[in-house]
Amino acid sequence: MTELAGGLVQSVDWLAVAPPTILAVVALVVLVADLFVDEAREPLLGWASVGGMVLAGLALLPLLGGDRSTFCLTTGAHNCSYVADHFTLAIQLLVIGGALLTALLSLHNQDRLPQGEFWFLLLSSAAGAALLPASRDLATLVVALEVVSLPAFALVGLRRGDRLSSEAALKFFLSSVTATAVMLLGVSFVYAATGTLHLTALADGLTHAPAQLATLARTGAVLTLVGFAFKLAVAPFHFWVPDTYTGAPLPVAAYLSVVGKAAGFSGLILVTVVGFRPYGDVWGPALAVLAALTMSVGNLAALRQRPEQARSAVRLLAWSSIGQAGYLLVPLAAAGYVTDQRHQIGATVSYALMYAVVNLGAFGVAALVLRSNALNRIADYRGLYASRPLAALALAFFLLCLAGLPPGVIGLFAKVVVFSSAVDAGLGWLAVIMAVNVVVALYYYLRWAALLFMRPEPAAGQAAPVVRAPASLTAAIAAAAVVGVALSGAPQLVLRFASGSLL
Amino acid sequence: MNDTVLQYALVALLVLPLLGAIGALLPAPPGLKGRDPDQAVLRHGVSVTGAVLLLSIVLAAAFDYRHSARMQGSTDLSWIPALHIRIHLGVDGVSLPLIVLTALLTFLCALHAYFNMPEGPSPKAFVALLLLLEAGTLGTFAVLDLMLFFLAFEMVLIPMYFLIARWGGEGRDRAAFRFILYTLLGSVVMLLGLLLIGLKAGTFDMVALATDNGSKLSHSTQIIAVLAIGIGLAVKAPMWPLHSWLPDAHTAAPTTGSVLLAGVLLKMGTYGLVRIVLPIAPQGAHFFAPYLAAFAVVGILYGSLACLALGRKGNRGDLKRLIAYSSVGHMGFVLLGIATLTPTGVNGALFANIAHGLITGLLFFLVGAVKERYGSTDLDRLAGDGGAALYGTAPRLGGLLAFGAVASLGLPGLAGFWGEMLAMFGSFHPAAGLSRPAYLTYLALAAFGTLLTAAYLLGVVRRVCMGERSAEAVRLADVRGFEFAAWSPLVALTVLAGLWPAALLGLTDPAVRILLGGH
């Protein structure tokens, strides 16, 4: 670090960093514009944000060509802080697409939320989520993770005067801050042991760490992973999820369950597979146990949800998202057991993409039903087919995808990819636990799906008049359904990640 | 040249019902509106299933009968390279008769529904579901990739569920849910077995796996895989003790549902055993064969005893339920034939499969007609003390019912005879390595089962068809034109298969020998 300043100047590849940058800039523009726009024109802010997201999505196109990197060290080994490789692009596509669908879900009920703040927070959080998969050093990673979560607390608590909402926000905030503190401690330990924050250099440093620092390095690694486990709501650190999701505005819950989770997972992948690669024998088994625990806890709790309870629909989706996070962890755990980890990472990415589409779709239909049934109980979905046939068919399709049954072909094969990654790594026991969990989950997904097609209760039939669905909401559900059906016809579109090289 | 025809016919056979199902949901185009929308959509169902039947006849005509062991009309496209899943279609001597049977029965059902739509919601959904069901069943018999097989196998569940739950009779909700729960759990277990085979052998292609004949799979893998796959298929077949969804589903289902359930859906289970388990995991099949045979024989006896009990006076037995239980017995013979692992037994099983489809399909049609006329299928209410005297009130219907019953009990000269005889013949000389005394015992018990079958079926004929015709009884409508059209092909084929079994056996035998590992 004794070079002259001139040698240290980095040239920035603005095209590579465009997707998160556009999101961040539009966020600021919206925040400032909110001051000058009168109330009648406030919906314009929403459309501006949607436009910004579309623009950020288009900015991915020129990057498809190949690996670009920027913010690189000009001295020594070629270590970069920002890399736009195929892994980054896949996750950024998921994040931006997910944010876009969330935006479409929230466009219609803006009268209840403060406009400018909502869009600013959503865009900032999305910018962080888009930055996360690209970051290749621990500092950027932690900063990006915080950029994802800090606006998210505010989003959860945004419904002013709603006790449940603020309680949810507080719970989320406290658990997340603890996670960050633990993670920062871990990162500092790792830095102390290796003297570097760049992930690739870190892997090298950990192998050659002095013997007396080995314990420190290991402790640091474990603490960092615990931090991630908190953020990802991996059991046993999952307790905040159901309350947070039910308390938050519905689109925000959808956003957290998809984009928040995907961003967290991409961070976890980078840290484990790239950074802590030499410790595969430690985090591999640990993640395997966590995966088994997470999916079992999530699915068993989802099984126990009673359809008559208030807010049971979102609560069920919350528990099911914990269960799905367990499946997402399986290939990651398997990555600790094999030397060539490309298939495992690809399996997680494919599964995450599938999950993002269908889960957002399910939340979309939930948002639609919420308009006529404020309680949002699963029991309210009874006979949905009679009043809204298309929405019912879409929800049934999404649920079957989540369950992994035909005609949700993409859900089935995404599960098969995950399953085979466990078998390939010799994790037979984990594969068996996953199979049992899939069967358990079948029950509650199917029960919900069957409810849609039952005859509506005679008394409740007139109580809920069918409200015309807002166009943006319809568009969001239709988009998710079209993508889901297209993927079911050509699963290779996402499953190719499982056979190709991403990192 | 012929192979190209076969290839296109086979693809069209699968695509046409799917397109038809979508078409049924769309409004009718101008010029095809018919009398009213309901009639138009039902006619659409008849024409699409009719076209599918024609295609299946083209398929049968273009099929090269000298090489019935070879896969013909193969289509092999890459679908999901990441998982090595291919769209691989083909037809050989084992699948061809089942494809034709499916197309025929579905067409007859559509025809029947056109004139006699079951009560329930709109016919639009009915026709769409019927066509979806047809696509799924034809797919099951035509695909040659384990994952596609699973997809097609599953695709059948949803339309069947709705056919029972929406157009069914008493107790339909419970019966439908039970049906989907049993078969779904079974097929999830089957999926695990299929995955195990696919991941261990490195391919999901059934032809490649059958050519390997299990040489790439370890003994323990084969045993676990056969157990898992076997459970899934046994639920569908159904094998005692996994049969308990069947009587309820049959009783609650509308006539078309029962016909397709018995005639086609049950075949998917036994077809899977022959196509997947026997060639791909022969060691596993060998390990479980005696158990399968034992369960099969218990099924035969259990089915017949249940039928005997239902047929007795004062037990309030339901005629539909009785035929459903008789299916358990008949499918027991099929399973027994497969469990002998000999060409004789497996050929017999495949023959019995087709025969059961024809005969039980006919019986369910007939019982549906009885229900329509009397408003009930409760034997006690039907027969009263003396008997329903169908011979007197509706002689043709009574005659057909008696024909179906004697065909079902296996009268020589009709289709029911050969399959069961060959299955028992196979167990007289089971494959090498299987305990002969055990199989001889099974043989004796199965033979006893045929006696019981004869007893209850003749009892039913006596109670329903015979009896004193009371003076005040209204003369019931006898067999009507459309019913005659729907039933006569089944009657004709039953007689034909009974008199000329070599036509079918000559088709299946070469393929069966290949599947059993001979070359």
pLDDT at A503: 60
Structure tokens at A148: 């994802």
At residue B294, what is the residue type? A
Cα(B203)–Cα(B11) distance, integer angstroms: 23
Residue A104 domain flag: no
pLDDT at A1: 43
Residue A130 domain flag: no
Q: Please report the sign of the dihedral spanned by the C-alpha atoms of residue B444, residue B449, residue B450, residue B454.
A: positive
Q: Please report the sign of the dihedral spanned by the C-alpha atoms of residue A439, residue A440, residue A441, residue A446.
A: positive
Q: Is the pLDDT of residue A101 over 90?
A: yes
pLDDT at B1: 57
Contact B422, B415 (CB under 8 A): no
* Residue-level length of chain B: 519
Which residues from A are below 8 Å from B150, CB to CB? 406
Q: What's the pLDDT band for B471 if we cut at 50, 70, 90?
A: low
A vs B, Cβ pairs < 8 A, gives 58
Of B83, B151, B195, the CB nearest to A406: B151
Cα(B513)–Cα(B505) distance, integer angstroms: 12
Express as a percent the part of chain B with pLDDT over 90. 27
Which residues from A are below 8 Å from B174, CB to CB? none
Structure tokens at A92: 């950024």
Give mean pLDDT, residues B237-255: 87
Q: Which residue do the tokens 């979102």 mark?
A: A314
Cα(B491)–Cα(B510) distance, integer angstroms: 27
3-state secondary structure of B47: helix
Which residues from A are below 8 Å from B154, CB to CB? 405-406
Residue of B nearest to A386 (CA): B121
What are the distances in angstroms from CA B91 to CA A182, B104, B216, B516?
A: 62, 17, 25, 17
Q: Is the pLDDT of residue B51 over 90?
A: yes
Q: Is the pLDDT of residue A460 over 60?
A: no
A239: left (phi over 0), alpha (psi -120 to 50) or beta: alpha
Which residues from A are below 8 Å from B168, CB to CB? none
Which residues from B are below 8 Å from A453, CB to CB? 162, 165
Q: What's the pLDDT band for A466 if we cut at 50, 70, 90?
A: low
Residue A128 domain flag: no
Q: Is the pLDDT of residue A181 over 70?
A: yes
Structure tokens at B120: 């329930």
Query: Residues 6 or more apart from B342 whose CB is under 8 A from it?
Result: B426, B429, B430, B431, B516
Cα(B40)–Cα(B48) distance, integer angstroms: 12
Residue of A nearest to B152 (CA): A406
Which residues from B are below 8 Å from A442, CB to CB? 184-185, 188
Cα(A172)–Cα(A241) distance, integer angstroms: 8
Give mean pLDDT, residues B90-105: 91
User: How far out from the chain centre does Cα A202 lie?
Assistant: 26
Range of the domain at A326: 276-503
Query: Residues 6 or more apart from A316 whose CB is under 8 A from it?
Result: A302, A305, A378, A444, A448
Alpha helices, DSSP H only, in B120-236? 123-142, 146-155, 157-167, 172-201, 206-212, 219-236
Answer whether B154 sits within 8 Å of A406, measured CB to CB: yes
Query: What is the DSSP-derived secondary structure letter of residue A208?
Result: T
Q: Is the pLDDT of residue B152 over 50?
A: yes
pLDDT at A458: 64
pLDDT at B139: 92
**How many Cβ atoms sit within 10 Å of the Cβ of residue B291?**
12
Q: Is the pLDDT of residue A92 over 90?
A: yes
Helices H / strands E in chain B, number of each? 23, 2
Answer whether A416 sits within 8 Å of B177, measured CB to CB: no
Of B82, B162, B177, the CB nearest to A495: B82
Of B82, B162, B173, the CB nearest to A496: B82
At residue A273, what is the residue type? V
pLDDT at B518: 61
pLDDT at B105: 92
CA distance A496 to chain B (A): 5
- The residue among B363, B311, B360, B356 whose CA lies nearest residue B333 is B356
Residue A473 domain flag: yes
Q: Is the pLDDT of residue A74 over 80?
A: no
Q: What's the pLDDT band for A3 if we cut at 50, 70, 90?
A: very low
Q: What's the pLDDT band for A93 if we cut at 50, 70, 90?
A: very high
B345: left (phi over 0), alpha (psi -120 to 50) or beta: alpha
Contact A87, A462 (CB under 8 A): no
Q: What's the pLDDT band for A365 if we cut at 50, 70, 90?
A: very high
**Which of A3-7, B30-34, B341-345 has the least mean pLDDT?**
A3-7
Cα within 13 Å of Cα(B355), Cβ side: 39
Q: Which residue do the tokens 């197309």 mark?
A: B103
Chain A interface disruption, residue of B18, B77, B83, most A CBs within 10 A: B83
pLDDT at B336: 92
What are the distances in angstroms from CA A493 to CA A420, A488, B149, B203, B448?
A: 18, 9, 21, 20, 57
Domain count, chain A: 1
Cα(B516)–Cα(B441) distance, integer angstroms: 24
Containing A71, the helix (H) or strand (E) segment is: strand A68-72
Q: What's the pLDDT band for A111 if we cut at 50, 70, 90?
A: low
Q: Is the pLDDT of residue B33 over 80?
A: no
**Which of B55-59, B282-286, B321-325, B378-382 has the least mean pLDDT?**
B378-382
Q: Is the pLDDT of residue A6 over 70?
A: no
Rg (CA), chain B: 22
Q: What's the pLDDT band for A126 if we cut at 50, 70, 90?
A: very high
Cα(A363)–Cα(B488) distance, integer angstroms: 53
Q: Is the pLDDT of residue A317 over 70?
A: yes
pLDDT at A464: 53
Residue of B nearest to A443 (CA): B181
Task: Answer with the residue of higher pLDDT: A112 or B378.
Answer: B378
- The residue among B393, B391, B387 whose CA lies nearest residue B403 is B391
Give mean pLDDT, residues B44-68: 89
Cα A445–A447–A448 angle (5° rounding)?
65
Give mean pLDDT, residues A282-287: 88
- Work out the angle between the directed axes of helices A115-131 and A43-58 (0-180°, nearest 10): 10
Answer whether A424 sits within 8 Å of B199, measured CB to CB: yes
Give mean pLDDT, residues A218-246: 85
Task: Answer with the residue of higher pLDDT: A495 or B449.
Answer: B449
Residue A204 domain flag: no
Give mean pLDDT, residues A443-453: 86
Contact A115, A42 (CB under 8 A): yes
Of B80, B85, B188, the CB nearest to A442: B188
Give mean pLDDT, residues B79-92: 86
- The residue among A446, A313, A315, A408 whose CA lies nearest residue A369 is A313
> Which residues in A49-82 are b (16+ Cβ under 10 Å) and which e?
bbebbebbbebbeebeeeebbbbbbeeeeebbbb
3-state secondary structure of A82: strand
pLDDT at A461: 47
Query: Residues 6 or more apart from B481 whose CB is under 8 A from it?
Result: none
| Structure confidence by residue, pLDDT tens digits, B367-384 | 888 888 877 777 777 776
Q: Is the pLDDT of residue B473 over 70?
A: no
Give mean pLDDT, residues A117-128: 93
DSSP string, B63-108: S-GGGTTS-EEEEEEEEEGGGTEEEEEEE-TTHHHHHHHHHHHHHH
**Which of A30-44, A274-288, B386-400 has the least mean pLDDT?**
B386-400
Give mean pLDDT, residues B167-172: 82
Residue of B nearest to A405 (CA): B154
Residue A40 domain flag: no
Answer whether A417 sits within 8 Å of B184, measured CB to CB: no
Task: Answer with the residue of higher pLDDT: A74 or B246.
Answer: B246
Q: What's the pLDDT band for A197 if we cut at 50, 70, 90?
A: confident
Cα(B256)–Cα(B233) distance, integer angstroms: 23
Average pLDDT, chain B: 86
What are the distances in angstroms from CA A242 to CA A261, A294, B231, B505?
A: 14, 14, 37, 61
Contact B299, B239 (CB under 8 A): yes
Q: Which residue do the tokens 């459903």 mark?
A: B324
pLDDT at A2: 45
Q: What's the pLDDT band for B141 if we cut at 50, 70, 90?
A: very high
Residue of B nearest to A410 (CA): B80
Structure tokens at B112: 């029947």
Give mean pLDDT, residues B315-343: 89
Cα(A157)–Cα(B359) distance, integer angstroms: 67
Residue A245 domain flag: no
pLDDT at A121: 93
Containing A399, the helix (H) or strand (E) segment is: helix A389-403
Answer whether A450 sits within 8 Å of B188, measured CB to CB: no
pLDDT at A99: 94
Residue A3 domain flag: no
CA distance A451 to chain B (A): 11
Give mean pLDDT, residues B286-292: 92
Query: What is the DSSP-derived secondary structure letter of residue A112?
Result: G
Q: Is the pLDDT of residue B519 over 90?
A: no
Average pLDDT, chain A: 86
* Most confident of the ranges A383-397, B30-44, B170-184, B294-308: B294-308
Q: Is the pLDDT of residue A419 over 60?
A: yes
Of A407, A416, A497, the CB nearest to B195: A416
Give mean pLDDT, residues B488-511: 89
pTM of the predicted model, to two decimals? 0.88
Chain B interface disruption, residue of A349, A353, A354, A416, most B CBs within 10 A: A416
Give mean pLDDT, residues B461-470: 77
